[in-house]
Structure 1
Amino acid sequence: MSRTLFSMPIATAVLAGLLAGCGGGDTLTLDTAAPTLSSVQTAHETVVKQARLTVTGTVTDDTGVQSVQIALNGQTGTAALSGGSFTATVDLKAGRNNYTLTARDAAGNEGTLQGSVYLGHRVAGGNAHAGALIDGKLYTWGRNNFGQTGLGFTSTVSANAETHPVAPTRAGGTATFVALAFNQNHSLAIDANGQVWSWGDDTDGQLGRGTDGRSLCGSGTVANCRLDIAQVPGLDNTVSLSAGYNHVLALKADGTVWAMGLNTLGQLGNGTTTSSATPVPVVWSPADAPNVGRIVQVSASSASSYALDDQGQLWAWGRNQYANLGQGALSTGTTAQATPLKVPMPAGVRIASVANGRDHVLALSSDGKVYAWGLNASSQVGFNGYIHKGTATAWASPVLSPTSLPWMETHPVVEVYGNGNTSYARRADGKVYPWGMYGASEGTGTVYANLDEPEDRLTTLASIVDMSLGALHQVALRSDGQVFTWGWSFEGALGGGSTTINTWMYNAPLNPVFP
């Protein structure tokens, strides 16, 4: 349900008088005027990736403000005051977070401001499956060869026409989930208590549930999947998840980062190249990661990992074959980087959010600009597409260091998304803009137009608050709770029903029907 920030003064009749004059001319003045708070007004609940929220705004009072406090999830913190402005910071839990700001003056009068933010994805896309959370209930659809839809069985379109989930299907039993993380053929979720659940492909231990009790799925000859949706031991108090191609990152409420799955290139960040089917903590080497702040976001790619701290610093580890770690002069190669390195950013740049595709990275700065690097063969970083590729103005592939994208210099954005060789940016009005590998239907076939920079290809779609990219399909949530899908509908990945199966491709978004 959408929520709008609003200001609501609450006056308390507290004596705050001043005696003036002398003798019988004494007068008593009561201060009953409450402070007034204001902040950025939004037409919908804000969806964020960072686990630490900073709220800024202004506060006024006729006699002066004494304090501003923020209350959220049992926490109460005091905001910093500077003139008539305030800055309040508080840590978030996964899911919906309703907060209250309270301003007090010297007389004890109070004014409040209430707001809501949502931490985590309510929609998710994998290789060719997808899911959405509607009122805490999990619905999934699409490819199911590893049981990644969580329905307790495997299926394909041809062999299981009656049961294969080509439209949103209820999964997850009675658990109340608040955030999703899908990729490739595996799926994870966080419940309302901060516990992580997993299901689907577990070939490399990416589901974090050990090696016992796995089933045989796909074309494998050994047990390699989980058909049941079950909890991951040791991942309690989790506030954020990111699913890579063969590994998963989890951020706990205490700021620690945990990883599980394939580790041949150091993507688990624990100082080794030994894979793990149970969660292991990321190790912050004093030599490689001095002055690291509290981690507030994690992001996993094909074989690299990223973490953002509360100082706006970005850290990276794992594969650097395509300059994934953004180290510039540091040569690319297949040598494992098993502990985090700081990604060097231009002076003064503070990162607010990070996203990645298979081997490229998008870092959103606090002022709405985007710095990108890594593999650029399909122009997923930029300027190597249908206009610039093969010309003197084309950007290289890979791009070795964080590079500012010119489009965002004049079109500031509020969020970035990536997967495969595709990138998306979302602006404040909820419009989303793709670049990189973008499918375009032409007659009975499909060509991919590699877009040099963000373009307005989805002209009918607006007010998007959350989005997730699959390998070749996209899922988005509008502010009114409606879910939209587009791209390739392989095995029902778009959730549009039997008439849309395997169509390549839909660039006019579908609106899946939920039971």
Structure 2
Amino acid sequence: MGVKRARTETTVPVKRARGKLNELPKLSGQKLDVFAFGTGTICELGLGPEVTEVKRPRLSPLLPADEVGIVALAAGGAHSLAVDHEGQLWSWGQNDTGCLGRDTRLSDAEIDEDLDLNPKESTPAKVTGIRSNISFVKVCATDSASAALTPTGNVYAWGTFIDDGHKSFSAGVEIQYKPERVPIQPKIVALASGKDHFLALTVDGHVYAWGVGTSFQLGVHVRSGRRTSTAGPLRVPGVDNIVSIAAGDYTSYAIDSTGKVFSWGLNNFGQCGISDPVGPKACIETPTHAEFWDDKHIVQIAAGGHHSLWLTKEGTMYTVGEINFNQLGVPIKELPENTVREQDGTPSYVPTPLELKWASDEEEPVSLPKMKFIACGTDHNIALSQEDGSIWTWGFGSVYQLGHGKTGDDGPEEEEVPRHIRNTATKERNMVWAGAGGQYSITASVHV
């Protein structure tokens, strides 16, 4: 299975600058307990060099809240980022593309040690190469790059973007090993990331994009090829007064101050939330008003490889796109008539959004709770309950990334509908954040 990822982040209320639409970010004072589950054969779990697999959520002993005090997190395809209570950056996971922002090469003596994983990559540690007077409040991760946001609205990034195997961070730079300030003039308040692109939201409600844009996920046409495909930062035309942004592997989304949703990028399965055009290679080439959502009060969007998840103010979830791995959370028998199917009748995708209504708890049908936070991996999803912060997962889960302790060897590889995770480590824990990587997942609760 290839590297997969998902992007989600929390929003922290802060003081709004006079005359500005959006608020400058502020460091959270809420310390978090961090949980990981899934497979970490390339160090994704961050649980040290001897842990390559966790079947159910496990509290990280390497990020103790009383000592480290993590307050913000991001999950990339195979690496994760965090911000501690002092505004310092932490990272762990695969570092082939420099996305950890620190040197993880091993000495000859360290290589000779009998360890399952690189100890420098599998153990959370601080990002280096940053001046001591610079602090951060938010982080964001693609499959191979990282970005972080300062409380003054500046963005720093490192790693690389990969287009058809070719790496490029910026003109003349293949891999950026240390955090470098991104040349965006307006102050930035939020970040979002896809597989190989970033979005940035300004205080004035404009959106900037950079990275690979060959599926129009940057909102402009970018020619394929090394260096030319890694473009930006570019101001995305056609979107103004934006208050929220999100991204999937090859898609981008924005919500304006009136609640209108705009989306652009690859739409072969309708994952932009727009039902026309769909089909092979279909793209929404420029930001387009997705009218379906006008009366839904959407407050958060999460997207994976070819599907997307939408959360309303009331806590209702909607889903649209590919269903080959049950990533929509809809029982096969409940699929609508317009479901697009393969030649043998197998459901392929649903081009129009559906409200999620189904759930299970210990494999028994239950009512789906209202949700407060959502996250998408390429083919799996996480939702957190409004009532108690419980974790619900569904979709593809062959390597424990759903957290139910099952794989294809001893149970279903997939969960057809959202299923409640029940285990001792998360019992009575109120989860407030979740991130879905490729083969792993992360959740975080308020420290108790």
Q: Distance in 1 between matches of 2:179 and 2:320?
A: 36
Using the alignment, how far apart are the partners of 1:49 and 1:309 within structure 2?
Answer: 18
The percent of aligned pairs where both chains have the same amino acid is 24
Amino acid at match of 1:228: K
The equivalent residue for 2:300 is 353
User: Which TM-score applies when normalising by structure 2?
Assistant: 0.71
Q: 2:441 aligns with which of 459, 468, 474?
A: 474
Q: Which residue of the partner structure matches residue 281 of structure 2?
A: 334
Q: What is the DSSP-based 3-state SS (H/G/I as helix, E as strand, rest coil) of the residue aligned with 1:353?
A: strand
Question: Any idea what SS the aligned residue of 1:354 has?
Answer: strand
**Is 1:231–2:178 an aligned residue pair?**
no
2:96 counterpart of 1:145: yes
1:444 and 1:373 map into 2 onto residues whose CA distance is 25
| Counterpart selection for 2:430 from 463, 477, 481 | 463
Cα 1:332–1:196 change in 2 (3 A) is same
Q: Which position in structure 1 is the counterpart of 2:149? A: 190
Structure 2 alignment gaps of length 5 or more: 1-7, 30-70, 360-366
The answer as to whether partners of 2:79 and 2:91 remain within 8 angstroms in 1 is yes
| CA shift digits 1:225-276 (9 cap, x unpaired) | 1111111112551111111111111111111101111111211103555634
Asked if 1:305 corresponds to 2:252, the answer is yes
Measured after TM superposition, the shift of residue 128 of structure 1 is: 1.7
1:442 Cα shift? 5.5
Instruction: Give 1:348 deviation, angstroms.
Output: 2.7
Q: Distance in 2 between matches of 1:254 and 1:293?
A: 8
Per-residue deviation, 1:459: 3.6
Alignment pair present for 1:94 and 2:54: no
| Aligned partner (choices 257, 263, 270) of residue 323 of structure 1 | 270
- Equivalent residue for 1:343, pick from 284, 290, 303: 290
For each residue in 1:376-400, what CA deviation from the matched residue of structure 2 results, as whole angstroms up to 9, or x when unmatched? 2111112257x989xxx99943110
- CA distance in structure 1 between the partners assigned to 2:407 and 2:259 by the alignment: 46
Counterparts in 2 of 1:428-447, with a 5 A limit? 428=386, 429-439=388-398, 440=400, 441=405
CA 1:328–1:180: 2 relative to 1, 3 Å: same
1:181 corresponds to 2:148: no
Q: CA deviation at 1:149?
A: 0.9
1:251 alignment counterpart: 201
Q: Provide closer, same or farther for how the CA distance between residues 74 and 253 of structure 1 changes in structure 2, counting only shifts above 3 A.
A: closer
> How many Å separate the matches in 2 of 1:458 and 1:237?
42
Cross-structure match for 1:488: none
Distance 1:50 1:315 in 2: 20
Residue equivalent to 1:412 = 370
**Which residues in structure 2 correspond to 1:219-298 (within 5 Å)?**
224-234=174-184, 236-270=186-220, 275-284=229-238, 294-298=241-245
Following superposition, the deviation at residue 75 of structure 1 comes to: 4.2
Is the CA contact (8 Å cut-off) linking 1:260 and 1:275 kept in structure 2?
Answer: no
CA offset at residue 159 of structure 1? 8.2
Are 2:358 and 1:400 equivalent residues in the alignment?
no
Letter in 2 for 1:283: P
Partner of 2:42: none
Equivalent residue number for residue 72 of structure 1:
15
More strand by share: 1
TM-score (norm 1): 0.63
Are 1:129 and 1:140, in contact at CA under 8 Å, matched by a contact in 2? yes
Match of 1:171 among 117, 122, 127: 127
Distance 1:93 1:150, change over 3 A: same
In structure 1, runs of 5+ residues without a counterpart are 1-46, 54-70, 78-89, 99-120, 215-223, 285-291, 482-515
- Write the letter of the residue equivalent to 1:210: S
Name which one, 1 or 2, has greater alpha-carbon Rg: 1
Contact 1:199/1:207 (<8 A) preserved: no
Pick one of 450, 453, 456 that aligns with 2:414: 450
Which whole-Å deviations, capped at 9, do the CAs of 1:271-327 have from their partners, x for residues lacking one?
55563432001111xxxxxxx662111112221111112222221111111222222
| Partner SS for 1:278 | strand
Change (3 A) 1:417 1:443: closer
Residues 375 and 398 in structure 1, CA contact (< 8 A), matched pair in contact too: yes
- Which range is displaced more, 233-242 or 179-188? 233-242
**Contact 1:364/1:371 (8 A) holds in 2:** yes
For residues 346-397 of structure 1, the C-alpha deviation after alignment (integer angstroms, 9 at most, x for no partner) is 6632211111111211111121111110112111112257x989xxx99943
Give the 3-state SS of the residue equivalent to 2:121 in structure 1: coil
Q: More relative contact order in 1 or in 2 (CA 8 Å, sep 6+)?
A: 2
For 2:28 and 2:91, the matched residues in 1 are separated by 25
Distance 1:251 1:204, change over 3 A: farther
In structure 2, do the counterparts of structure 1 residues 398 and 364 end up closer, same or farther at CA, with 3 Å as the change threshold? Answer: same
| Aligned-partner Cα distance in 1 for 2:287–2:347 | 25
The verdict on how the C-alpha distance between 1:310 and 1:49 changes in structure 2, with shifts beyond 3 A counting, is farther
1:477 shift after superposition: 2.1
Contact persistence 1:421–1:436 (CA under 8 A): yes
Contact 1:431 1:463 in 2 (8 A): yes
- Matched to 1:142, the amino acid is G
